[in-house]
């Protein structure tokens, strides 16, 4: 089976590196064509596959553990009071 055309080649003709493709894929910044190309690329590129697993796990960990418990309960009231006060 022949390799599909690489949709990651820039207009200047430069091919994206594994790391660049991985980052775009991870962040959902790829076209459908690029997505399919990279998924098939990962089937035979073990470093990309391993890195993807780690990067996704970190992304998920950040989302789960670093988004905080929310703003203090009185913050909205304070903001509204400040606007009313300075508006009048």
Partner 1 sequence: MDEGVRQVYTEAEKQEIFEKEFLPHINAMYNFGYRLTLERDDAKDLVQDTYFKAYRFIESFQKGTNAKAWLFRILKNSFINDYRKKTKEPSKVDYQEVETYYNSDDVHRQITPDLRVDSLKDMIGDEISNALNSLDVDFRTVIILCDLEGFKYEEMAKILDIPIGTVRSRLHRARQLLKDKLSEYAKSMGYKNT
Which residue ranges make up the site for partner 1 (CB under 8 A)?
A: 17-20, 22-23, 27-29, 47-48, 50-51, 53-55, 57-59, 61-63, 65-68, 70-72, 75-76, 78-79, 82-83, 86-87
Q: Rounded to whole angstroms, how far apart are CA atoms 84 and 71?
A: 20
User: In this complex, which beta carbon is closest to partner 1, that of residue 33 or of residue 81?
Assistant: 81
User: In the bound complex, what is the minimum distance in angstroms from residue 57's beta carbon to partner 1?
Assistant: 5
Contact 85, 77 (CB under 8 A): no
Indicate the residue among 1 and 86 with the shorter CB distance to partner 1: 86
In angstroms, the CA 82 to CA 60 distance is 37
Q: Min. distance of Cβ 10 from partner 1 in angstroms?
A: 11
How far is the C-alpha of 83 from the C-alpha of 88, rounded, in Å?
Answer: 8
Strand residues in 16-66 grouped as ranges (E): none
């Amino acid at each position: 089976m022949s390799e599909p055309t690489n949709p990651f080649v820039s207009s200047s003709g430069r091919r994206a590196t594994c790391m660049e493709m991985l980052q775009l894929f991870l962040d959902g910044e790829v076209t459908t064509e690029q997505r399919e190309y990279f998924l098939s690329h990962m089937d035979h590129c073990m470093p990309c596959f391993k890195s993807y697993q780690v990067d996704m796990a970190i992304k998920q960990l950040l989302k789960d553990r670093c988004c905080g418990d929310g703003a203090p309960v009185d913050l909205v009231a304070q903001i509204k009071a400040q606007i009313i006060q300075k508006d009048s």
